[in-house]
Amino acid sequence: MRVLFALSMINCRAKYHHGLGFLSAVLKEAGHETALLELYDLDWSHVDETIKAFQPDLFAATAESHQVVYIKRLFDHVSATYPHVPCILGGVHVTMVPNQIFQFPKLLGVCVGEAEGPLLELVTRMEAGKDFYDIPNFTFRRNGETISNPYSYYVQNLDTVPYSDRRMFKRFRDAKRGVPLRWHPRFIFSRGCPYDCSYCGCTGLRAVFPNKKEYVRAPSPTWCIGQVERDLQEYTFDTFVIDDDLFTINKKWLLELANHYPEHLKRVNFMVNGRVETIDREVLEALKDMGCSLIQVGVETGDEDLRTHILKRRMKDRQIIEVFELARKVGIPMHSFNMVGVPGETRETMRKTLAFNRRIKPARAQISIFYPYRGTALGDECFEKKLVTGHYDNYFAHSVIKNDLLSEAEIVRFVKYFHVRLYACYAPGLAWRALKDVVRRSATYSRVRAAWRALATTVRHPAYAWAAVVKERNPRLLYSRSVR
Ligand code: B12
Ligand code: SF4
């Protein structure tokens, strides 16, 4: 069968999707054909070209909560234009928010949880013309009737999952052997996290997972090393990212991986996600020996009360400070994730977040604005209390939570200048880069740059300038601009 996957990445920085990479690998291993529609804007001509060229028997999209509005429009378009192509949806949003099939009237089915088994079963039975309405994890629609099957499937042994299908993604297909990738490839080894942070999707995913005791799982070191080695044979890169929810959760597994880690891989750097309670000297030394070049941990806020009681990250400032100091001694740079705009945020708590980061001096820091996800404790509470004011496709530019103590403009301004103010204290080079970023993103800079480019084009190529004017006047032309 020919399965066309769809991934919407409108206004988001993501360029890879592990779930689709694995699902495609599973289907290809069984002899099916797959392709991927990568959406960077709602460009129907690109959608139509892809569907006409690939002629799919099944259209299978994924969605997280930010992109789900675009996916809805995509399904409307596909089901109206190609009514003979059945459409299905899976991914974290439908897993965390129940009964999504009712939001998408034209879908054949919605799949919750992991789908390596259920999707293969569906495709195999569809191809054989057999009944498929009893496949676990799926809710189907048949002649107006809804058939819900239990969420019972998950991958029990991650070693059985084939290595991710990189080539389905354009950036990997375009990569030339021997030419270094201009970005860091991403890997995922273990799945799941046992902590209860009130804002995090992982807690929502665990809440509905069929067997909570097995939610956190890891493949064997041989599987992990094999995936990196395969990719190193096909692509050239000196750094990669390990996207595991919490790479440092199982010390025994991590040390075993470190023991098996081959010498030739140690020259390639990698970054991981950690959590301070799971990091000690032994873990840091093992990571350092393997080539780890950055450990990313959540600090989230410099206000211990907010962190403990609202975010349910029950860790002391002292623990964070100690781990940052230890990592400095061992020689691994640390990255801090921060978030502002949570319910209860004030000017004072934001000030504390900046001050705390100045104290721990992360090599890199990220700051985002709290976004409420349905299916998480804090997200659901915000919706119940009617604190949510809107929906956006990323969590860097807007606050969607009502807050009587703080305006959205103040939160956005704090985020805008956070890096400049942080790095100015201990890393002038980074502060300068952050300042340049602020200027580049400003509206005045965009206007000046656009005017300068228009002037230069007019002087050098008057014909191009005229074409640009025509394009501006004809919105259809603008709308059908090609996908980046
Ligand atoms: C790694 C990761 C990333 C990576 C890679 C993206 C990816 N999804 O692979 C990067 C850094 C690029 C990224 C980006 C983003 N991420 Co992210 N990310 C994760 C993380 C930590 C792991 C995801 C993962 O790989 N899991 C393992 C794989 C195997 O599982 P999976 O992707 O869910 O896929 C399985 C099933 O869902 C299902 N499935 C998935 N799609 C489909 C489709 C069909 C048709 C079917 C049948 C089944 C199916 O089968 C798959 C295989 O078993 C999760 C946390 C988590 N545990 O989910 C957050 C998470 C998914 N990300 C999140 C967010 C918000 C984002 C961004 C919006 C951030 C941003 N502002 O840019 C973007 C959006 C990217 C996008 N367009 O999807 C949120 C989503 C919350 C929500 N309710 O939607 C999560 C839950 C973290 C959180 N903050 O709570 N992310
Ligand atoms: S530790 Fe990280 S991955 Fe785990 S629940 Fe908290 S925020 Fe999510």
Residue 225 sits in the same domain as residue 284: yes
Residue 136 sits in the same domain as residue 233: no
Residue 360 sits in the same domain as residue 471: no
Percent of the chain whose predicted confidence (pLDDT) is above 90: 86
Residue 23 lies in a domain: yes
Residue 258 lies in a domain: yes
Evaluate: CB of 246 within 6 angstroms of ligand 2: yes
Residue 279 CA to ligand 2 center (angstroms) comes to 14
Residue 137 sits in the same domain as residue 93: yes
475 pLDDT more than 80: no
Q: Which domain holds residue 472?
A: 447-480
Residue 422 CA to ligand 1 center (angstroms) comes to 29
Residue 461 sits in the same domain as residue 436: no
478 pLDDT more than 60: no
pLDDT tens-digit readout, 114-168: 999 999 999 999 999 999 999 999 999 999 899 999 999 999 999 999 999 999 9
Please identify, by atom number, the ligand 1 atom nearest to the C-alpha of residue 374.
83
441 pLDDT more than 90: no
Residue 238 lies in a domain: yes
Residue 164 lies in a domain: no
Residue 264 sits in the same domain as residue 374: yes
61 pLDDT more than 80: yes
Residue 378 lies in a domain: yes
Please identify, by atom number, the ligand 1 atom nearest to the C-alpha of residue 61.
45
Confidence of residue 443 (pLDDT cuts 50, 70, 90): confident
Residue 425 sits in the same domain as residue 455: no
Q: Return the pLDDT at 471.
A: 60
Domain total of the chain: 3
Closest CA to 34 of 168, 173, 161: 168
User: What is the best residue among 198, 273, 275, 310 to mutate for testing ligand 2's pocket, by most ligand atoms within 8 Å of CB?
Assistant: 275
Residue 192 sits in the same domain as residue 143: no
474 pLDDT more than 70: no
pLDDT tens-digit readout, 363-412: 999 999 999 999 999 999 999 999 999 998 889 989 999 999 999 999 99
Residue 93 sits in the same domain as residue 219: no
Q: Which of 42-46, 433-437, 452-456 has the lowest average pLDDT?
A: 452-456
Residue nearest to atom 27 of ligand 1 (CA): 19
Residue 166 lies in a domain: no
Residue nearest to atom 1 of ligand 2 (CA): 195
Q: Return the pLDDT at 479.
A: 34
For residue 122, the domain's CATH number is 3.40.50.280
Residue 28 sits in the same domain as residue 74: yes
For residue 247, the domain's CATH number is 3.20.20.70
Evaluate: CB of 243 within 6 angstroms of ligand 1: yes
Q: Return the pLDDT at 481.
A: 32
Please identify, by atom number, the ligand 2 atom nearest to the C-alpha of residue 275.
1
Residue 228 sits in the same domain as residue 360: yes
Residue 230 lies in a domain: yes
Q: Return the pLDDT at 470.
A: 65
Evaluate: CB of 189 within 6 angstroms of ligand 1: no
Residue nearest to atom 37 of ligand 1 (CA): 91
Confidence of residue 433 (pLDDT cuts 50, 70, 90): very high
Residue 475 lies in a domain: yes
Residue 144 sits in the same domain as residue 280: no
Evaluate: CB of 203 within 6 angstroms of ligand 2: yes
Q: Return the pLDDT at 483.
A: 28
Evaluate: CB of 249 within 6 angstroms of ligand 2: no
pLDDT tens-digit readout, 97-113: 989 888 998 999 999 99
Average pLDDT on 53-59 reads 98
Residue 379 CA to ligand 2 center (angstroms) comes to 15
